[in-house]
Amino acid sequence: MRIHPSHPKSISPGEGERGVVLLLVALLSFSFFAILAWVIDLGFARLSHVQMDVATSAAALEGLRFRDEVTIPNPIERDFQRRSMASYLAGLPFDEDLYSHDLSPYDDALQLGAGPVISMDDGFMGKVHAGRLVQPSPSPVYKPRSSEWTPHSPLALELNIANAPHGDLVTGNLSDAVRIPIENKIYLRNDFTPSAGVDEASHANAFLVRMRRTTDPLGIDRIPGASSSGPPIPFVFGMGTSIQMAHGEAYNPRIDGITVRATSIAQSQPVMTVGRPDPVFQLPGFAPFHIPDDVWNDFGVLPLGVTAIEIDPPTGEIRVAGGGPLVGQFFQTLRAPLHLADTLLPIAVEDGSISKWGTYVPISFPILAEDDLLPRVIGFGSVQLTLTDTSSEPWLANLERLPSGIAETNATANLAGYNLASKAALFLVVMEHYRALVDPLLAPALAR
């Protein structure tokens, strides 16, 4: 009897691997959704923050710019006015026609806003959050509106007249000593102290503006008159990942989404650049004369208030009346606007028809540069010069020194368009005197 050896059953290629690809796809789907969540969900949050930061930065500068509004002597009214201006300006980036063509702001075709608004239901039986459905939203983007918003008064943020630390608009003092600013859950900061009242606010050196999108977990983000908030950014693709609520925490990312907060702080800084005055538009600018820094820093020579002076037209010199010390010099400049370190060339005064000059006066110090010892701008102050008698020489005038304040327009605390690299050594000397200047003219600048 012949015995035939048994042969193993032949298996077609891939027959034993059926379902492996499906298993791999299922396992990798968590990674795919994590990548999509990182790119799209966090991308939405980043976009929202950028748009909110644009609005808060502009509003912070506006709120500080009107701190010393001279046309409103009442500090309560002045505080209300600058908060209203800041709130109004915070909404302008989100309206394509800047409220100019209709009485329905935010009703625009471009859909400008502080990030997208994605509405979702509660999921299956309110528990299966991965099954939440995206629902239509009345507005596809977040457009901030205060509780007092009207078409005629489109205020985007709450005015926070009580100056609560968690409010949208907060006046206070910013500390330069803090290197790493920290803001906690109830919006208290280690670098910013809110003003205690209107009188203190009228001298505070900073103005804080915040915009937020949060679920309001502590009940301080949506208080009419004080604070406002939009909806958070929900996780969409993040629902397909394994993110869960941390043990002992109330925050659930699958329900609460992503909290986005933008905070900007403007601080008063000494002015570095001043534009040319424009009488047609009543725009203040730099005065045609400068005051030496040793005179400006000495209140015994040039005190606050009015000082009687005399002007010698042939030389352009300004002296205290009665043959007193030299307190100023008329100049010409080869450029406008006028920056720190610019040269001030002495000139004669020929036009006595202008009754007033001011209000931003350059403060000077003679600095040797390129073999020339010439007065250079090392800062700015605030004065008003009024001619009283030009019938004979020297001309008689009054020079009123004004207290340090914030310039509302045509002055800035940065060197716009100035090439520092070519004058580094000169600028080091200028900055030494700039920092030592007493009672300088100020302008708002973004600090945070």
What digits encode the pLDDT tens for the residues 102-149? 445 445 677 788 888 877 666 654 555 556 666 667 778 888 988 888
For strands 260-270 and 442-446, give the pairing: antiparallel
Q: What are phi and psi of 183, to 5 degrees?
A: -120, 125
Mention every residue, 6+ apart, whose C-beta is less than 8 A from residue 306. 398, 399, 400
Task: Kindly tell me the number of DSSP H helices and DSSP E strands found in the chain.
Answer: 7, 19
pLDDT at 2 over 70: no
13, part of any domain:
no
pLDDT given for residue 10 in this prediction: 56
Q: Could you tell me the pLDDT band of residue 87, with boundaries at 50, 70 and 90?
A: very high
* More confident call, 115 vs 312: 312
Domain boundary among 214, 241, 268: 268
Kindly report, residue by residue over 237-283, the tens digit of the pLDDT. Answer: 666 566 666 666 777 777 778 889 999 999 999 999 998 888 888 88
Helical spans, DSSP H, in 237-349: 253-256, 293-296
- 162-167 — which CB contacts under 8 Å span 24+ positions? 162/225, 162/226, 163/194, 163/195, 163/201, 164/194, 164/223, 164/226, 164/227, 165/194, 166/220, 166/221, 166/223, 166/226, 166/227, 167/223, 167/226, 167/227
pLDDT given for residue 406 in this prediction: 92
Q: Do 110 and 229 belong together in one domain?
A: yes
Q: Do 199 and 74 belong together in one domain?
A: yes
Which tokens go with 31? 């990674």
Kindly report, residue by residue over 176-213, the tens digit of the pLDDT. Answer: 888 899 999 999 999 999 999 888 888 999 999 999 99
46, part of any domain:
yes
pLDDT given for residue 103 in this prediction: 46
pLDDT given for residue 418 in this prediction: 66
Q: Do 77 and 30 belong together in one domain?
A: yes
pLDDT given for residue 308 in this prediction: 93
Q: Do 64 and 121 belong together in one domain?
A: yes
Give the mean pLDDT of 332-358: 77
pLDDT at 52 over 70: yes
Give the mean pLDDT of 437-448: 92
Which tokens go with 362? 């350059």
Report which residue type is found at 389. Answer: D
379, part of any domain:
yes
Q: Could you tell me the pLDDT band of residue 222, with boundaries at 50, 70 and 90?
A: very high
CB 290 within 8 A of CB 363: yes
pLDDT at 352 over 70: no
Closest CA relative to residue 225, chosen from 89, 113, 87: 87
pLDDT given for residue 417 in this prediction: 66
Q: What are phi and psi of 31, to 5 degrees?
A: -70, -40
Which tokens go with 412? 């800035």
Q: Could you tell me the pLDDT band of residue 151, with boundaries at 50, 70 and 90?
A: confident
pLDDT given for residue 60 in this prediction: 95
Range of the domain at 252: 23-268
Q: Do 328 and 199 belong together in one domain?
A: no
pLDDT at 340 over 80: yes
Q: Could you tell me the pLDDT band of residue 341, with boundaries at 50, 70 and 90?
A: confident
16, part of any domain:
no
Domain boundary among 206, 241, 268: 268
For strands 372-389 and 356-369, give the pairing: antiparallel
Which tokens go with 422? 């070519």
Q: Do 314 and 422 belong together in one domain?
A: yes
pLDDT given for residue 12 in this prediction: 57
CB 115 within 8 A of CB 233: yes
Q: Do 175 and 310 belong together in one domain?
A: no
In this prediction the pTM is 0.84
Kindly report, residue by residue over 159-181, the tens digit of the pLDDT. Answer: 999 999 999 999 999 998 888 99
pLDDT given for residue 9 in this prediction: 55
4, part of any domain:
no
15, part of any domain:
no
Q: Could you tell me the pLDDT band of residue 101, with boundaries at 50, 70 and 90?
A: very low
pLDDT at 236 over 60: yes
Give the mean pLDDT of 312-338: 88
Q: Do 224 and 285 belong together in one domain?
A: no
What's the number of domains the chain is made of?
Answer: 2
420, part of any domain:
yes
Q: What does the alpha-carbon distance between residue 84 and residue 76 come to, in Å, rounded to a whole number?
A: 12
Q: Do 201 and 302 belong together in one domain?
A: no
pLDDT given for residue 270 in this prediction: 94
Q: Do 110 and 133 belong together in one domain?
A: yes
Mean per-residue pLDDT over the chain, rounded: 83
Give the mean pLDDT of 94-101: 66
CB 92 within 8 A of CB 157: no
1, part of any domain:
no
Q: Do 250 and 364 belong together in one domain?
A: no
For strands 192-194 and 345-346, give the pairing: unpaired
CB 92 within 8 A of CB 99: yes
Q: Could you tell me the pLDDT band of residue 79, with boundaries at 50, 70 and 90?
A: very high
Closest CA relative to residue 62, chosen from 86, 94, 91: 86
Q: Do 215 and 76 belong together in one domain?
A: yes
Burial zone of 31 (CB within 10 Å; 0-12 exposed, 13-18 middle, 19+ buried) = exposed
